[in-house]
Every structure is written in structure tokens, then in C-alpha cells.
Structure 1
Amino acid sequence: MPNVDAIQTVSIYKLFVPLKEPFVISLGPIYHVQNIVVVIKTKNGITGFGECSPYMTINGESVDTCFIVGQYFAKVLKGKNALDIAACCTIMDKTIYANYSIKSAFDMALHDVAAQHANVPLYQFLGGKKDKILTTDMTVSIGIPEKMQQDAMQFKATGFPAIKVKLGEDLESDVARIKAIREGIGSAIPLRIDANQGWQTPDNAIAILNALAPYNIEHCEEPIARWRFMELSKVSAMSPIPIMADESCGDHHDAARLIALNACPMFNIKLGKTGGLLNAMKIVQLAATANMHLQIGGFMESRLGMTASAHLALSDGHIVHCDFDTPLMFTEDPVRDGILYKEKGVIEVPDVPGLGAAIKDEYLEKAEQVTIE
């Protein structure tokens, strides 16, 4: 088949789903999923799906900004070759700076189209293979120690192989939380912590990280304010717990900067920060060259967005952690096909051509939407 397939129509939908209970991090609580779904249809009859989950306090976007900016992209991409993903992404970058969340939804849909056109699963299109078993952790929201202990015990009983804990307040409160969790679940199951920048300064973070050292913590995400990335190397050098950059590692330019600074040994890649799979793969390549370990995470994507992340997780051996738990927090599942959550946190990735996931028609039909054709 010729390597050309023009974009014929682009549809943009708002997707709202309540959570089972509020998901709370140091930056604030989340009560409802407020996502954007992008559907690209091509002249040759291929339909690609993409999703983003804008996070106002992290990527500075909302469901409303994404809905509007997405229409800018739909207009400039109409008629362009959907199989030339790099060229389409360049057009989006030239249209507006940043806005990486909505760019990631378009990038995802374009990759879905291209992988279907190539008649291979997305992970294979990305150069990956099924040579490892993917497992997800499960996250405990920040709250009172007793509730966090109860949640952690439930997740352990369910069989998840690792538990992620949201922190980011003061030393006394955060140590009390981890102490309670360890008393509830024992010392064997891995604990991962995420401060979401909440400890602010290097000295404060170093003090808390040292206080948490006795509790066998696997790694800590984003301990200090993202704009203090120049000081992250100090935290890494003085922390007994390995540091993983999250908010401070948005796209591949951020990754290259952090590597040059020897800032930390690990990155957390999220498609909503990178602008999509194209840039995410650039981070993977940079990290692989630097022999760094990687985690693939997400915001509040449904199984659609998490399916793309799971395909990415199969692309390289340096990707060793997956944080794909947010769809398990939804009260409803709007996705057809896609990844499956098996026992003990195992993630089963589809082997059909493309992404292998779509939003169910009934959710699209009732959603606020716009189509550019």
C-alpha cells in the first residue's frame, strides 16, 4: 500500500466519568474524569482513536482548552498525510506552543492509524515486542494514616505487586502515613512514593527522604518543586531513596537537560506531558543511551489512553515500571477492547493491528462534540 492516507475528518469529544472516590494528591483532589477523545478518519477508511486527560495543575490545560485547541489542530491537519506523524506533529507545534495534553491525543490517534495501515499492533510499530509481562501498581491517595493503611491493605489483598503512595506534606505527617501502611502490609511488598513537588525545597525533601529510609521505599517521584530542577541532583546525591523525575520531565528536551545535569536515575514518562508517543520514544532513546530506568505512567486516562501507554511500555527494556491504575478508579468503563487487567496487576496488551481500543458508541453519542470535515 502507498504510504499516504489523507485525514478526512476529525471529531473531538468531551468524556466525563465519576470516580469511585476522590483521588487526592498534594496538588489537590480529583472527583471526576474530564478527558478529551479524538477520532481521526482517513480517506482510505481507517479510524484512529486518541485520548488525553488534561491536568490543570501539571500541564496547564483543561478539558475546555483542549476542546478549543483541538479544533485548531483539526483544521490545519485536514487533508494532511496521517501516516507522516512527524510532519503532523510539527504542524501542531507550529500552530501553538506547548498544549502537550491535547497534542498527545492527536499523536495517539495518528499512531493508531499508522499501525493499522502497517497491519501490526502498536507496540510492534514502535519497535517493541512482547518479551516481558507488564504489571501495574495501585495508588493510595493522600489522607489520614488510618484510611491510607486500609487502602494499602486492600490493594495487597487484591494481589497488586507494588503499592504507590501519594505524599507531599510535612515530615511528621508523611512519616506517620508510611509507618501506618508498613504496619498494615508488612515489609515484603514494594512501596513507591510520590510527593508531587509537595516538599518544595531540597533541604526539606532530603530530611523527609532520610526519615522514610527505614521503610524500604523503592523510589520517590518528584520530591521538590519542578522549577528547582537545577537542584534535583543535590537531592538525588543525598537521598537514600532513588529519585524519579516526573513533573520536571515533560518532553524530550527536559529529559536531555536532566540527563546533562545528572539530576536523577529515573524518569516517569506520561504521554500527556510529552505531547505523545513520538516524543515519548525520544525520551526512551535518551534514557536508554544513559542506561536509566523508566516508568510509564499517566494522568486520569481511561483504558483507551492506558492502552497506548501499555504499548509504549513494551517498546524498550529500560522501561521497568508501569503505573496504569487510574481506569480501575472509574465508576464506569467507556472503552471497547483495549488492555485487560488480570490477576496480580498483570496487564494484557491487545495483539490486533493498531491501538486495539476505542470508546464505546453510546459514550460518544451523548458527549459534547465537534467534527471538522
Structure 2
Amino acid sequence: MLIRDLQVEHRNIPLRTPFKTALRTATEIESIEVTIQLENGITGKGAAAPTWVITGDSTESIQAALLGPIKEALAGKDIYHFQLLLDAIQRCCIGNTSAKAAADIALYDAYSKLLHVPLYNLLGGNKSLNTSMTVGVDTPDKMAADAKKCVKDGFSRLKIKVGSQPELDLTRISAIRDVVPAEVTLRLDANQGWNPKQAVQLINQMEAMDAGIEFIEQPIAARDLDGLKFVTDHVNIPIMADESLFSPKDALQLVSGHYVDLLNIKLMKCGGIANAWKIASMAEISGVACMIGSMMEPAHSVGAAAHFAAAHPNVIYFDLDAPLWLSETPDVIAYEGEELRLSRRPGIGQLG
């Protein structure tokens, strides 16, 4: 079954409220959507969002990669050579992980539709999913109010953005802990906002506060692996790599060197489901658990990430709240409080 064509569209999706991290403030996302068409009329859809400060991918670079080397690698090829095509996506150009993720997702979507199964069945699992809800970085009082609302909306796991003003981070956590029940779990994401000694000092103080912190994502600069290991070795709260992890090669280095305790996999960073599966399996061999994460990106790519997470046994944490920030209702994934529901239709599916 040959791949007849690959097409790309671009649109902007406003956010319900601004999304603030230590790296940026977003009021809308750009969605670059790719469609693969098979000769029998079946289509597979993928999507990506440019994130300059994380992946380095722009709207223009994603579109150029999709319509250039990626399209050349796929057009006219037999989709039944599925694994070879997934490899061809990764090999056809350097970098461009977001474009590769969009094409990878579209290929998985088309292939599972061709086989008349949901994507999670193609991948081999369907465990239940839940998500944390993100509290953007802000003043302590505003973050406490936002956290309280998240709990009211049914979320028992809160991802707290910190790091933009490290001197305020203890106050932020204390303010949040004062207004949410003790059984609500906090997960911190510093987005590279601390230096190693500062991180150890802050985390030790948080441990003394008994703040109920499950783990801390990327406390320091992504490429400072020695500093990352210093933090991991000098605190009790588990440390998770995020921006330090793009590729399976990165995962091998992180787990073999014991630089972190946990890995956060994002399709836009690693280039799609195929590489995400390699990362999670490699971590599993080393006894390192994984989380599936999402950036500010379209619901379709988050849906693909959810199918992957539902199938892989070593993905045990889930951070898939991005569609809840969008002004449009997601059509491939449903939220009931913190619980996620996937479509039973072929591919990534449509709800209804």
C-alpha cells in the first residue's frame, strides 16, 4: 500500500489563559498539521508545535523539513515497510525533532487505520491514564489560588512551575501547600532555572518543609550533566530529566551514568513514538521509570503521546494537560477530571 502524498497546514490556536514558565509566556500555540494519504484513500494525521527555547524548531523549519526531506523519504513508499519508514524519517535530516514527530505520528495513525485498530492496540496495551495539572509560575498568592482551583476541578497531582525567581520558590511552594489537601501530590518543574548548589539548597529546604513533592524536573541547565548528577546525589526527592533528554542516545547516557532518577519523554523532543518507545524500553532495562510529557502543543500530538503511554509498561507518570489550556475542545482525547479517555476507533481516533 503506497503512500501517495504528504501535505502540511498551519494554524494558530489561542490559549484559554497565558501559560507561564521560567523560559517563556505563551498566549497561543502554532499547530503545524501533516496529513499522509495512502493510495486507497486512508489518511494519517500528525501535528507539531514550534518551541524555539526547547527544540529550536520554528514554524518555517518544521514546514520545510516536512515538505522537503521527510516527504521525499515517504512519498511513493509502501507503508507495509513500516519500521523502515520510521527509520527513514529519523535519518533523512539532522535535528528537526518536531517535524519528525509530526510525520512519525501521521505514519502511526495511517498504519493503525489500515489495520483497523486503535493506535494503542497496534502498540500493544491500554492501561488507564490520568494527568497532572500545571500551575504556571506567578506570584505565590496567584499560584496558590490556581492550585486550589485545580484541586476543585478534580486533580490530585499538580505540576508546579518554579525557577523564574529562585528566591521566591520556597514561598510559592509554602503558599500552595497551605491551601491544598495533604493528599494532593506536588511535582515541581524548574525548567533549568536553578544552578546546582542553589538547587540542592532549595530542595533540602523543601524536604525539611515536608511539602509532599513527588519529583523535580530539570532543576538545572540541560547540558550540565555533572551538575545534574551533583543535585541527584545530594537530595532525597527524585530528579527527572526533561530538557536534557532528546534522543535514545541521551537516554543511554543519562541512565548509564546515573545522572537522574527519572526521565520525561516528549514526542516533540525525541522525534516521535518510535524513539519514545526506544527511550522507555532502554530506561526500563536500567530500572529507571518514565513520564510522558507534553509541551504547549495540539491535542492530536498529545493524543498520540497518550496512546504511547497507554501501551508502554515503563511509562508510569503522565503529564498530558496541554489540550486543557487550548481554546478549542480536543477531538481525540477526553478528560474527566484527571482521568483520560482515548477513542476506540482506528488510529489515534475521533471521539464521538
TM-score, shorter chain, exceeding 0.5: yes
Out of 138, 145, 167, the residue aligned to residue 140 of structure 2 is: 145
Contact 1:83 1:113 in 2 (8 A): no
Opposite residue 202 of structure 2, the aligned amino acid is I
Alignment of 1:159-308 (within 5 A): 159-199=154-194, 201-213=195-207, 214=209, 215-308=211-304
Opposite residue 356 of structure 1, the aligned amino acid is G
Aligned twin of 1:83: 80
Out of 9, 19, 24, the residue aligned to residue 23 of structure 1 is: 19
State the distance in 2 between where 1:284 and 1:93 align: 18
Give structure 1 stretches of 5+ with no counterpart: 359-373
Aligned twin of 2:106: 109
**Identity, % of aligned pairs?**
34
TM-score (norm 1): 0.90
Out of 52, 59, 68, the residue aligned to residue 56 of structure 1 is: 52
Aligned twin of 1:95: 92
Contact 2:156 2:183 in 1 (8 A): no
**CA shift at 1:57, angstroms?**
0.3
Contact 1:25 1:166 in 2 (8 A): yes
Contact 1:54 1:102 in 2 (8 A): no
Opposite residue 327 of structure 1, the aligned amino acid is P
Contact 2:98 2:268 in 1 (8 A): yes
Taking only aligned residues, the RMSD between alpha carbons, in angstroms, comes to 1.5
**CA shift at 1:169, angstroms?**
3.2
Out of 323, 348, 351, the residue aligned to residue 355 of structure 1 is: 348
Post-superposition Cα deviations, 1:74-107, rounded to whole Å, max 9, x if no partner, equal: 2342101233333224333343201001100000
Post-superposition Cα deviations, 1:228-247, rounded to whole Å, max 9, x if no partner, equal: 02332221111121101101
Alignment of 1:124-143 (within 5 A): 124-128=121-125, 130=126, 132-143=127-138
**CA shift at 1:6, angstroms?**
1.1
State the distance in 1 between where 2:119 and 2:52 align: 29
**CA shift at 1:170, angstroms?**
4.2
Contact 2:90 2:271 in 1 (8 A): no
State the distance in 2 between where 1:232 and 1:315 align: 30
Out of 335, 338, 346, the residue aligned to residue 345 of structure 1 is: 338
Task: Find the residue that maps to 1:187 and give its secondary structure.
Answer: coil
Post-superposition Cα deviations, 1:94-132, rounded to whole Å, max 9, x if no partner, equal: 43201001100000000011111222211121122x2x3
State the distance in 1 between where 2:287 and 2:87 align: 29
State the distance in 2 between where 1:83 and 1:228 align: 42
State the distance in 2 between where 1:279 and 1:84 align: 17
Opposite residue 211 of structure 1, the aligned amino acid is Q
Moved more, 26-35 or 93-102: 93-102
Alignment of 1:303-342 (within 5 A): 303-333=299-329, 335-336=330-331, 338-342=332-336
Opposite residue 196 of structure 2, the aligned amino acid is P
Task: Find the residue that maps to 2:312 and give its secondary structure.
Answer: coil
State the distance in 2 between where 1:127 and 1:231 align: 38
Aligned twin of 1:121: 118
State the distance in 1 between where 2:244 and 2:133 align: 23
Does the C-alpha gap of structure 1 residues 357 and 269 become closer, same or farther in structure 2, counting only changes over 3 Å?
Answer: farther
Post-superposition Cα deviations, 1:245-296, rounded to whole Å, max 9, x if no partner, equal: 1010111111011011111121011000110000000011111111221110
Post-superposition Cα deviations, 1:341-371, rounded to whole Å, max 9, x if no partner, equal: 11x310011122211149xxxxxxxxxxxxx
- Displacement over 6 Å in runs of 4+: none
Aligned twin of 2:4: 8
Task: Find the residue that maps to 2:34 and give its secondary structure.
Answer: strand
Moved more, 169-178 or 17-26: 169-178
Q: How many residues align?
A: 348
Contact 2:73 2:85 in 1 (8 A): no
